[in-house]
Amino acid sequence: MAKVGTMSYLVPEEQQLESFLKLAGDSKPIELCHLLKFKAVADYSDHPDEIPCSGKEAYHRYLDQAIEYIREHSGKLLYNGDISGLLIGPSTESWDEVLLVSFPNIETVTEMMTSQKYQDIGHHRLAGLEDTRLFTLTARAAN
């Protein structure tokens, strides 16, 4: 399980968001690495008009539209795939999928995430995810 006890992480904590936003003004490219754990059945209780589906399908309803918005904000989907096994790490954790996205800078990420179009698809993400981790990555200079 990706969860520790009964905790799951679907949105950033206030301190995490503040730390992320402090990077604004940095013109360096940024990558976002997502570890995803899906619900067996999507929870659309807040959106009863949505067609029932698996958590993975709900997340991909979100992702199919999010990719369009990522591109509109000069971002790129670098990798999306299933996780087939665990080589190193606690056996109590498991993840279903990994996603790697690149943006030119922090500002383009925040512009996308605060846009109304992006906000309007967020319910699919929340309906489908049981748990997630989102890492911000910055490249080092090559030697």
At 41, the pLDDT band (50, 70, 90 cuts) reads: very high
pLDDT recorded at residue 1: 35
pLDDT recorded at residue 129: 97
For the CA atoms of 106, 121, 115, 22, what is the dihedral angle to 10 degrees? Answer: -30
Could you tell me which residues are beta bridge partners of residue 104?
none
pLDDT digits (tens, 9 = 90+) for 73-112: 999 999 999 999 989 999 888 999 999 999 999 889 989 9
| Cβ neighbours for 65, distance < 8 A, ≥ 6 positions apart | 121, 124
Q: Is the pLDDT of residue 54 over 60?
A: yes
How many Å apart are CA 94 and CA 89, to the nearest integer?
A: 9
Q: Is the pLDDT of residue 59 over 60?
A: yes
pTM for the complete prediction? Answer: 0.84
At 24, the pLDDT band (50, 70, 90 cuts) reads: low
Residue bearing the bigger pLDDT, 92 or 63: 63
How many Å apart are CA 76 and CA 57, to the nearest integer?
A: 21
Chain CA centroid to CA 19, Å: 17
How many Å apart are CA 26 and CA 30, to the nearest integer?
A: 10
State whether residue 5 is helix, strand or coil.
coil
**Summary mean pLDDT of the chain:** 88
